[in-house]
Structures are given as structure tokens and as C-alpha cells.
A and B are shown apart, each in its own frame.
Chain A
Amino acid sequence: MGRYVIRRLLQMIPVFIGTTFLIFFMVYSLGDPVAAFFAGKAPNPAVAAQIRHQLWLDRPLWAQYLHYMAGVFRGDFGTSFNGTPVSTLMANAFPITIRLAIIAFLFEMIFGIGLGVASGLRRGKLTDTLVLLFTLVVISIPVFVIGYLAQYFLGVKWGVISPSVSFGAPWNELIVPGIVLGSTSLAYVARLTRTTVAENSRADFVRTAVAKGLPRRRVISNHLLRNSLIPVVTFLGTDLGALMGGALVTERIFNIQGVGYNLYQGIVTQNTPTVVGFVTVLVIIYLVANLLVDLLYAVLDPRIRYV
């Protein structure tokens, strides 16, 4: 196990460098940050050159990248073009988005696994068909449509929630946005759980557990569920990536000033340091989450042995 962890960590190094460089390359080589600085007006060449020099833009891309990465490891993500350090922006934005993501994650895990188990145990029955239909519909409606529908009906028409989240984003106002954000993943979790539960409920170990007279609850919770949740856990790791993308949309709809909102503003105003900083952190979170999922495998499934 220890050797496996070390190998995975070593493998992560080239992946981390490659991914961050790719982002760096996309942002810096494709757009011109200085042009964005002057909002499309022609800048004084001397001033432009001075800004380029200050931002390291006159050096080759790999040097810019190394310079930037050296800063990242000291916790310095650069300064956004309007003067705020990117790390300050992050400190304000991340708590909000983490709250949103926790709500989405809890929602999709509790309801997704619940629905999946309910339908997987009753394969072919009415419950199963209803759950399948529901998940199909949820998957096929894009998040932004669900978001606007929720905002329109719950917020505007019936007045259950306030249509946009107030500054500071308290927990109770984030519930509906969190549910919207987690809705698609909820459907995937439910379907995945259903498949594995249906498969495992015919497995020998479940039959043995039933045969030795264990109560149904115990069979389901200890024997069936624990074995069925392994693929679901993998999914939740990759799902983090989908949640990040989804947060961009959800935060825009409900006016939540979190990571997605900042990132979107950064992209629209071509605020390169903001974009690179946020995306780099998100990618690190994503990579670490997937590593943790891989390691969690061994805990959940003792049959998997790492060498």
C-alpha cells in the first residue's frame, strides 16, 4: 500500500506539470492580456512594453510558466488586473463554493444512493421504472434550464426562496442552488447504484447472508451496499470536475459570488491572472480528489491489493 501511494504521488507530478502548463498555454498564448488591459484601445507602445515586462510577458512561455509556478508554491497567485491579489479573491470565493458543493454532494449522495438502492432491489417493478424515467429526464435537461426553472417557479412565482442569493451566501439560501447543481449527478449516482445493486443482489455473498438468517436491513447495509458503492465512489471523484463546471453555470444564475462567478468574470474581462489562478487550484483539487478515490478503493474493497 505504501509503495502504491508513493508511485501514485510520483505519477501525479508529470500530470500536474502537464495540466497546469496546458492551461497556462491556452490562456497566455491564445489571448493578449495587454490588449484586454486597454479594453481594445491602442496602448502607448512604451507603456505596453513596460506592462509586458512587469508581467513577464516579454519572456518565453516556459520562463513565464516557471516564474508563475514558483509563485504558486509560495502561495502567491499573482495580482488580478484590477489590483486585488488573486489569493484574496480566492479566500473570499472558496468558502462560498465549498458550501455550495457540500450541499450538492450531500444531496446527490443521500438521494442518489437512496433512489438507486430502492430501484435496484425492485428491478422491473413500478418503483424501478419510475426512478429510471425520472433520472432520464433529469439527465437530459441541462443544468442551466433546471436552474432557471427553479429560479422562476420557486423564486419568482411562488416566492419560496429569494431568486438571487444575497452577499455572503448563507447556508439556507444555498440549498436550492446546491440541489440544482447536484441534480444531474444525482441521476448518474442513482443509475450507477441501481446497476451495481441489481448485479450484486444476485451474488453469492448476499445469498449466504440471507441464508444464515441475517435481517434484511443488515444484509442490505453491511453486505450489499458496501460492495455496491465502490463504482459510486469512483464516480463521485470524477464528478467533482462536473460540479466545478456546473458551479460556473449555477453561480451565474443565482448570483452567487463564488469560484464560478469569479472565474466567469475573469474570463469575460480577460483577467488572465484570475483565470489561471482559479483554474490551477481547481485542477489541483480535482487531481487530489481522484488520487484519494483511488486510495479509498483499497479501504472499500479488500480484494484489491496494491503492490
Chain B
Amino acid sequence: MSDPLLPRPDQPDRPAGTEKSSVFPSADSGMGGLETHDMIVGEDLRETEPMASASIEVIDREKPRSLWQDAWRDLRRNWIFWVSAAIIALLLVMTVWPSLFTSLDPLSCDLSKSQAGAESGHPFGFDTQGCDVYARTVYGTRNSIIVGVFTTLGVTVLGVVLGGLAGFYGGWWDSVLSRITDIFFGIPLLLGAIVFLSSVTSGGVWVVVGFLSLFGWPQVARIARGSVITAKQQDYVTAARALGAGSKRIMVRHILPNAAAPIIVVATILLGTFISLEATLSFLGVGLRPPAVSWGIDISAAVQGFRNAPHMLFYPAGALSITVLAFIMLGDAVREALDPKLR
């Protein structure tokens, strides 16, 4: 399928007078390398295509919609989508401008208020160190969202490139890339993260993002590979190739848009799980480390004394759960809109 010797569309035409160029008197660049057998198929297509498209216009008066327009129509009617989108919008604002929500500094604490309950100006009370729980909950949003969003980006890029290449080229590429995928898939994510992050001494956000991307991509790669293989066998890809499109063009213009739906669905759902994973790692003491402000760190600190002051645990845990819930609900809504099987 993927013959690199296939001529690119911008190659000059064959000299006039040969049989092939006489079949197509107009410029049919890129057909030069094809066999006559393929040419006949191409000829048929050319002759029947205008008729077919004309008749469709007569029958179907409604404007044809693409998968994405269809999905957007479905999404707009889904209340789950709007609820989760509203929560996510709020979280994003909190990520960028936490000071809009609280004037307090999450790191300036007053030990005399240790584990004190709610009071005026401090709706969520204080933690063991006497820090304001509300301020810490608001400021903790940033790290969670950064880890979630950027890990998902990293995982998607790596997974789409590696899985897509494996699916598109098949054969030798596929075997090698699939084995590499299997190797990374063979290490359970949380287990690998704990081993790796405990041996790295600096526990910044970007270390966590980098590691989770490095070990999280196989899930996306497998799905990308599958959907690229499905898309590759479609008629429009054969048609594009018959028209002389190169591998790169077919990949970017024809396969990628058609294979994207399942990848987007997985990526949205993964976003929530990455946020949860970051909290788990920070909770275990290997993810983010103090003085970073993270819900996982706060929950881990709250555990020591939450029998006396349960509010220290409930607010960060609640914020974490709501965030994960919002992203998973969004993923659910997107899947329902994009998956034709569920219609």
C-alpha cells in the first residue's frame, strides 16, 4: 500500500502522445507511475462522479453534515456536556487566576489556628499547619489541571504518532512499534510511576507530566493503530492514492480526520484519570512534594488528623472528585456524540 516510489502530485506530466496521457487529455499529474489497470478504475470514477454528486443534491435537500457537525449537534442537546463544561471552565479560570477566588496565600499559615474549624473569612477551616484550607484548595487546582492537560497532550501526541505510524505502514514498522508499545504497556502505570519518581530526586510538576506521558501513551497508541488500520482500508484512501496523493498527504488529510474520533474520546476520559493519578502519587509522597500545593499532598497531610478535623480531608478530596467527575462526564458526553453505535 505505502509505496514510497509513488509519484507526488507535483511531478511533471508524462510526455504527451503516450497511451496514458491520451486517456486523460487534461492535466492528470501523479498518475504516471500507476499501472494501466488502475487507470481504468480512475477513468470510471471520473466519468461517474459528477452524475452521482448531482443526483445526491436533488434527493437530499438538507445540507450534508460531517461527523463533527453531527457530534456537535448531539453535544449541544446534552445537559451532561453543559454541566461538565461549566465546571471545567470554572476550574480553568481557577488555574489561571487563583487570586480571583481568594486573597489569602496558601503558604502563609498560622500554627495557632491548627485544625481549627470554619470561621468568618475562612469557610473551609484550617489544616494541621494552620493554613487556610479554602486557599489551598483553590491554589491546588493549578497543578492538577496542568498535569491532566499536559499529560493528555503528551500521551496523545506520542500515541498518535507511534500508533499511527504502526497502523499506516504495517509490516516491519508495525512489528517493531507494537513490541515497543507492549514493553511500555507491560509496566502498570502507577507501579512504574512510583518506581521512577522515587528514584528521581526533584519532584516538580513537569517531571510528573513527563513520566506519565512517557509511560501512558501505549493505551492511545493501541487505539490509534486500530482506527488508522480501519481508516486505511476505506475507499476514499484508495481513491486518494489513485489520484496520486503521497503518503504524507493521505496521512494528514484523509486518515487523521477520520481516525480521530476514538482517539479524542480516549484522551478526554484519560484526562480525568491522570488528574486522579497525580493526586495518588502526591498522596504517596512521590509525585509533587511540598511546598508545592496539591490536593494529593493536602489529603495525605490531612489523613494524620482527620478524625479530629474531618474538614481537612473532605474539601480537597471533594475538589479532586468533582474535577475528575467533570472530565469523565465530558468524556462520556463526547463519546456518546461521536460513537455511531450508541445512536
What residues of chain A have their CB less than 8 Å away from a CB belonging to chain B?
11, 14-16, 18-19, 22-23, 26-27, 30-31, 136-137, 139-145, 148, 152, 156, 195, 199, 241-242, 244-246, 248-249, 252, 263-264, 267-268, 270, 275, 279, 282-283, 286-287
Contact = CB atoms under 8 A, between A and B. Distances in A.
Contacts, number: 125
B82 interface: no
B280 A148 contact: no
24 contacts: A11-B179, A15-B186, A16-B186, A19-B186, A26-B195, A26-B196, A27-B199, A30-B199, A30-B200, A140-B276, A140-B322, A142-B276, A142-B324, A144-B299, A145-B313, A148-B313, A195-B342, A244-B191, A246-B190, A249-B284, A263-B194, A267-B195, A267-B286, A286-B186
B321 interface: yes
A139 B188 contact: no
B96 interface: no
B324 A139 contact: yes
B341 interface: yes
A144 B188 contact: no
Contact of B280 (A14, A143, A263): A143
A244 B325 contact: no
Contacts of A242: 188, 190
* Dominant secondary structure at the A interface: helix
B199 A241 contact: no
Contact of B325 (A26, A136, A268): A136
Contacts of A141: 317, 321, 324
B195 A144 contact: no
Given A144-B299, A267-B194, 16 more contacts: A18-B186, A19-B186, A23-B192, A30-B196, A30-B199, A140-B272, A141-B317, A141-B324, A142-B279, A142-B320, A242-B190, A245-B190, A249-B284, A252-B284, A283-B187, A283-B188
B1 interface: no
B4 to A, nearest CB: 27
Nearest to B211: A26
Contact of A140 (B182, B188, B313, B324): B324
A195 B157 CA distance: 28
Contacts of A287: 186
Given A23-B187, A142-B280, A267-B286, A148 B180 contact: no
B183 A152 contact: no
Contacts of A244: 188, 190-191
Contacts of A145: 299, 313, 317, 320-321
Contacts of A248: 190-191, 194, 284
Nearest to A199: B341
A72 B217 CA distance: 29
Contact of A15 (B183, B283, B322): B183
B185 to A, nearest CB: 8
Interface residues of B, number: 43
A195 B341 CA distance: 10
Contacts of A282: 188, 191
A148 B306 CA distance: 9
Given A19-B186, A141-B317, A241 B324 contact: no
B307 interface: yes
Contacts of B272: 139-140
B276 A148 contact: no
Contacts of B328: 136, 139-140
Contacts of B303: 148
Contacts of A142: 276, 279-280, 283, 317, 320-321, 324
Specify which of A19, A145, A264 lies most central, judged by the most chain B CB atoms within 10 Å of its CB: A145
A239 to B, nearest CB: 10
Interface in B291-317: 299, 303, 306-307, 310, 313, 317
B283 A144 contact: yes
Contacts of A245: 188-191, 194, 280
A229 to B, nearest CB: 18
Contacts of B187: 19, 22-23, 283
A46 to B, nearest CB: 26
Contacts of B180: 18
B11 interface: no
A16 B185 CA distance: 11
Given A14-B179, A30-B200, A137 B190 contact: no
Contacts of A283: 186-188
Contacts of B341: 199
Interface in B180-216: 180, 182-184, 186-192, 194-196, 198-200
B288 interface: no
Contacts of A140: 272, 276, 321-322, 324-325, 328
A93 B217 CA distance: 31
A35 to B, nearest CB: 11
Nearest to A184: B276
Contacts of A156: 307
A258 to B, nearest CB: 14
B179 A15 contact: yes
